[in-house]
Structure 1
Amino acid sequence: MLKVVQFSTGNVGQHALRHVIEHPDLELVGVHASSREKIGRDAAELCGVPGATGVLATDDLEALVSLRADCVVYTSQGETRPTEALAEITAFLRAGTNVVATSLVWLINPDGADAWLREPLMAACRKGGTTMYVNGIDPGFSGDMLPFAALSLCQSATSIIVQEVFDYGTYDDAEFTGVSFGFGFTPDQDPPLMFLPGVLRSIWGGPVAHLAECLGVELDEVRERHETWVTSVPIDCTMMHVDPGQVAAVRFAVEGVKDGQPVIVMEHVNRLTQAAAPDWPYPPDGHGGVHRVVVTGRPGVEINAHVGSGDIDQNEGGVMATAAKVVNAIAAVCAAPPGMPSLRDLPIAQVHGLMR
């Protein structure tokens, strides 16, 4: 039985917390919450599990580190507060607690992350003899495990396109996702954080480079592109209200280029309700979202993956899957050598040499 701390109980964290509580091989020993109304409440109450665990939420980092758990599931928002997140994570690593995280997505391909982030974490791993693993659904699953599954069926490949095509209208996260994508912005406003030069490449360039390395392909460059769609009618949805003249859909990509052609592409098409951007790609009929990989080559493969079914829509399914991706990795991460592995180190399907 592995002892686990859950760090944060937000959109992803509450699903991770429930997963840990219900997992037969994991024992919840601590839970972190930052909001005053959550501190002191039982973990079960915070994630909708019946009964009580006896584990109460706290904002005391020292107390959680001193538990010396086997692993902490770190789902606190890190991209907007990297200095604080780095301090929290390194405290666990130095103390001998492994980390699985959905935050600091630059580390999905740790070899490609900037030194200011990678080096303190590696030093903490060496000191504590610990391992840190970052993943999720996108970036994460859609850009690593899904392409590897498709490539394992190929004799050769000439290009790989990975897409997330999602209706974000039912996602209640205007404060981060909405603002990051610029939903509700007008065309004359300054671009949102996501579309500042280099930001897209910093997030999805790592997965592009990781896939290229596994394929044994040297890319000439990694470039980014984006465009927006402005609504002519009001749109009301869970995410937000959008007035005419404001952005209600975005399309962006990071492309790995070889010989002048994009050969590895990570693309997003994200809209608020199905009415937005009618000329852009949609998921297959009946689905609100898809994570898709298309490999051209011999024989050529397309895989469409959907999360959510029944009363779970695609956005709730997406955050549940993001949480599951790292909770399910806890045992493998705890057994791994100290350091910062990527998916290929845990291990992955064999694709080296397919692209030529």
Structure 2
Amino acid sequence: MRRVVQYSTGNVGQHSLRAIIGRPDLELVGVHAADPAKVGRDAAELCGLTEPTGIVATDDVDALIALAPDCVVYTALGETRPMEALSEMSALLAAGINVVGTSMVWLVTPRQADDWLRVPLEQACAAGNSSLYVNGIDPGFSGDTAVHAALSLVTRAASITVQEIFDYGNYDDYEYTGTAMGFGNTADAERPLTFRPGVIATIFGGLVRNLAAHLDVELDDIRERYEPWYSDQHIECRMTTIEPGQLAAVKFSVEGVRGGDTVITVEHVNRLTSKAAPDWEFPPDGQSGVHKVVVEGEPRIEMSTSLSHPALDVTEAGCLSTAARAVNAIDWVCRSPAGLVALEDIPPTELIRGVMW
């Protein structure tokens, strides 16, 4: 039985919290909440369950560390507050607490992370004899587990494309995702930080470099592409309201180049409703979202991962799967050698241990 603290209860955290409460091999011992309105509320209430757990949320990090849990599931938003998130993660790790998480997406490929992030976390792991693992569905599954499976089916690969093609219209996260994508901006507005030169490569370039390293391919260059689409009509959706002339879809990618040819591409096609960017690629079979891997090679492989849930929208199902990528690794990370853990360090069957009961 692993004693676990859930750190944040937002779009992803509510799902990891619910999973921790439900699993018989995990014991919830604490919950962190930054929102004053959530502090003092029972964990069950924060994730949609009806039977109280007796564990109430707190904003006292020291009190959570004093519980000496085996692991913290860290899902707090970090990309907009990286130094604060780095400090929080480091404090937990230095106290001897293992951390699995979905935040700070640069850490999905920790060996590719910049020194400002990687070195302090390595030092904290060494001080606490603890481990840190970060993953999700994208970045994460689509660019590691899915593409590894596809590549295992070819004798030769000429190029690889990893795509997220998703309708974000029903995703209730304008505060971060909406503003990061620039949805609602006009063509004369300043580009959102995400799409300023070099930023896309900073976020997704590690996925390209990591895959190239696994393939023993030496890339000549990493380049990025960005294409906005501005609506010619009024669009109502859960994320926001779009008026004519405002941004309603984006397409962006990071490309690994060898010998003048693009050999590895990590691409996003994100829109608000099917009315947006009608000439761009859509998910197959009328679906709202898909994570797709295409390998041009011998033979050609195309694999699409589609999510569904009887009560959740596909974007929320994606948050649920993102939570799973962290929760399912808890036991192995608690047993692993100290340090930063990458997906390739974990035997694949370890990530399915405990999911059926």
CA distance in 2, matches of 1:30, 1:49: 16
Shift of 1:83: 1.2
Which residue pairs with 2:332 in the alignment? Answer: 332
Could you give the per-residue CA deviations for residues 291-338 of structure 1, whole angstroms, max 9, x where no partner exists? 000001111111000112333221011111111111111111111111
CA distance in 1, matches of 2:336, 2:252: 35
Which residue pairs with 1:154 in the alignment? Answer: 154
CA distance in 2, matches of 1:311, 1:14: 15
Q: Gaps (5+ residues) in structure 1?
A: 350-356
Letter in 2 for 1:257: V
SS across alignment from 1:285:
helix
Q: Check whether the contact 1:139–1:203 (CA below 8 A) recurs between aligned residues.
A: no
Which residue pairs with 1:17 in the alignment? Answer: 17
CA distance in 2, matches of 1:75, 1:250: 25
Find out whether 1:215 has 2:212 as its counterpart.
no
Percent pairwise identity = 58
Which residue pairs with 1:36 in the alignment? Answer: 36
Find out whether 1:45 has 2:45 as its counterpart.
yes
Letter in 1 for 2:193: L
Which residue pairs with 1:262 in the alignment? Answer: 262
SS across alignment from 1:309:
coil
Could you give the per-residue CA deviations for residues 121-154 of structure 1, whole angstroms, max 9, x where no partner exists? 0000001111101100111111111100101111
TM-score (norm 1): 0.96
TM-score (norm 2): 0.96
Shift of 1:87: 1.1
Which residue pairs with 1:171 in the alignment? Answer: 171
Aligned structure 1 segments of 4 or more residues deviating by more than 4 angstroms = none
SS across alignment from 1:293:
strand
Q: 1:254 to 1:226 in 2, by over 3 A?
A: same
Which residue pairs with 1:352 in the alignment? Answer: none
SS across alignment from 1:55:
coil
Which residue pairs with 1:116 in the alignment? Answer: 116
CA distance in 1, matches of 2:338, 2:61: 22
**What pairs with 1:1-356 in structure 2 (closer than 5 Å)?**
1-347=1-347
CA distance in 2, matches of 1:154, 1:66: 50
CA distance in 1, matches of 2:99, 2:333: 8
Letter in 2 for 1:332: W
Shift of 1:225: 0.5
Letter in 1 for 2:333: V
CA distance in 2, matches of 1:323, 1:110: 19
Shift of 1:348: 5.6
Letter in 1 for 2:170: T
CA distance in 2, matches of 1:318, 1:348: 20
